[in-house]
Amino acid sequence: MIRKIHAVLPHILFVLLIYLILQPSLEGTDEYWALLAVVVAIELALLVKRKSLVAADIGIIVFLFLIVWEYLTAKAGVKNPLLYPAPENVFAIFPEDYEKILEGVASSLRLMFTAFGLALLFGVGLGLIVGLSDRLANTVMPIVRVVSPIPPIIYSPYAVALLPSFRSASIFVVTMTIFWPIFMNMVLGVREIDRKIMDSARTLNLKKSTMILQVLLPYSLPGILNSVSVSVSTSFLVLTAAEMIGGTSGLGWYIKYHADFANFTKVIFGIIMIGIVVTLLNALLAALKKLLIRWR
Amino acid sequence: MSKIDLKDIFLDYQENGHDFHALEGVSFSVENGEFVSIIGSSSCGKSTTLNIMAGLYEPKSGSFRIDGVETRGTGKNRGVVFQHYSLFPWMTVKKNIQFGIRQNFPGLSKNELSNKAQEYLEKVGLRGFEHKYPYQLSGGMQQRAAIAKTLAMETDILLMDEPFGAVDAKNRVILQDLLLNILDSTDRKKTVVFVTHDVDEAIFLSDRILFMNRKKIEREIPVPFERPRHRERLALNADYQQLRRKIVDLFYYDEEENLHELEGGAGI
């Protein structure tokens, strides 16, 4: 019985929310359609996942939040609309501003992917070189343990001064955030590979390149991918912070730019967009992990 | 000339800054096509000896020859089956076998590679499991795949380090039969060195048993039974039982001696 109510509750809240939206003040405007679209999209997602209790819980929380938000801002009118924009106004930013937003997302993502590419290239490459030599590893790793905990965002003022453009400075800082975990995992993978696997590989008389590509890399891949997924959120934080400090494009810049004009409607929308982008990135990475590490 | 020849092999290892002897003058030889088991209690040095032959360890002194040639390091003339991890966990069963073949026959086309792998897969009864990853197989099936991989490399010498040590009793017997069947059916006779601590396994499989104790070969025991061997018939054979008793006694004899030493030590 309780279970049944539990499953129906989000849909009841959905109807309540729709009732709230249908109040005459909004009808027919862009804002009205934007809010309606978001709410219906969430309801559709819930209907697809209707077997899952967790989805129902999440639905309840999201709808409750939207009801309270909508009621307090648009209906009761208790707050200053400049500081506390109504949900319809926030969601309506997308049809109004989508070109700029998508451009911002694309710009942020391009920067992220460039940084990830560089970090993977250098992290795996240098990690292999250092990991394969006792002497190098013994020399380099104590230094790495001192340097790697320094938060890379600290380098940004200096990087801006040294590097030709703000964008390259951002790439450098974000790359550093992801580089360390990948590098450390690669060195660890090479140096602490299970001796039994190593013995087995050695008895096959592998060429060095085969040993690296077919044994050491696949062995280290799970560790590397784990460290990458941990650093996705951190690196996005670093990236948006960098964009806020001095970027001319990207989501961080979008938020900072509109905050300067006290357009908090757009600020809130930008924050929601960042949440969506990070979630999508994480989902992408999870899918990649599933694809590449089928063997565990 | 013997196929494999070890003479006065010594090996030390370090632990906590102290030197320990791992092998103290191991000498024996194995003839071409012979199946020899090395047997002994834990840490007697049997696996270490096999690792020397595999080329994974370098002896401190002594001579290790294959076909009369002094040998160091791993080589394409030897295939090794371990108790664990003879397969790479990130490759499917068939990919593992193909990977092994490719190292010894780099000239093969993709098709030839696949056919050869399939042939050995079927020899060990793993048809239908080509695309499974090792973690999806039972321990016994993993060892079947490991044997297929090593046999497919078609080396003269087969080194096996307790390959059935982690397999349950029933599958162990099945795998022993399988191994003997395959070895009997191949045209080119393989030379096999097989490390085990299971007396029955050693007798059933071998032409000769080397009993190792205290880091050296202490006894050489010929196994006179004709091939092909039948497990049930062998078990009823009085000679078999006598031989078995003799080897089991070797294990216990030493243990008693150790006990005496311990008691003597405690008295001082």
Give the gap in angstroms from C-alpha A293 to the nearest C-alpha of chain B: 8
From the list A200, A294, A296, which residue is nearest B82 (CB)?
Answer: A200
From the list A194, A203, A293, which residue is nearest B74 (CB)?
Answer: A203
Q: What is the pLDDT of residue B18?
A: 85
Last residue of a domain, one of A59, A91, A123: A91
The domain limits of chain B are 34-42+75-267
In this structure, the answer to whether residues A23 and A164 fall within a common structural domain is: no
Q: How far apart, in whole angstroms, are the C-alpha atoms of residue B234 and residue A44?
A: 72
Q: How far apart, in whole angstroms, are the C-alpha atoms of residue A256 and residue A249?
A: 10
H helix intervals, B124-237: 139-152, 169-185, 199-205, 231-236
CB contact under 8 A, A203 and B88: no
Structural domain harbouring A76: 2-91
Own/partner pairs, A274-278, CB within 8 angstroms, 24+ separation: A274/A236, A274/A240, A277/A105, A277/A108, A277/A109, A277/A236, A277/A251, A278/A232, A278/A233, A278/A236
Structure tokens at A140: 């380099």
- For residue A196, give the chain B residue with the closest CA: B85
Last residue of a domain, one of A41, A72, A91: A91
In this structure, the answer to whether residues A43 and A179 fall within a common structural domain is: no
Number of folded domains in chain A?
2
- Which pLDDT tens digit goes with each residue over A130-184? 999 999 999 999 999 999 999 888 888 888 889 998 889 989 999 999 999 999 9
Q: What is the pLDDT of residue A240?
A: 87
CB contact under 8 A, A200 and B86: yes
**Amino acid making up residue B264:** G
- Which pLDDT tens digit goes with each residue over B93-109? 999 999 999 999 999 99
Residues 211-250 of A with CB under 8 A from B: 214-215, 218-219, 221
Q: What is the pLDDT of residue B265?
A: 44
Last residue of a domain, one of A91, A116, A149: A91
Structure tokens at B169: 């009793």
Give the gap in angstroms from C-alpha A211 to the nearest C-alpha of chain B: 11
pLDDT(B190) > 80: yes
In this structure, the answer to whether residues A210 and A288 fall within a common structural domain is: yes
CATH of domain B34-42+75-267: 3.40.50.300
Q: What is the pLDDT of residue B223?
A: 94
Supply the ipTM of this predicted assembly: 0.86
Give the gap in angstroms from C-alpha A203 to the nearest C-alpha of chain B: 6
Q: Is B257 helix (H, G, I), strand (E, B) or coil?
A: helix
- Which pLDDT tens digit goes with each residue over B11-61? 998 888 888 889 999 999 999 999 999 999 888 899 999 999 999 999 999
How is chain B split among helix, strand and coil, in percent rounded to 5? Answer: 40, 25, 35
Q: How far apart, in whole angstroms, are the C-alpha atoms of residue B105 and residue A178?
A: 41
A38 lies within 8 A of chain B by CB? no
B233 lies within 8 A of chain A by CB? no
Q: How far apart, in whole angstroms, are the C-alpha atoms of residue B44 and residue B196?
A: 11
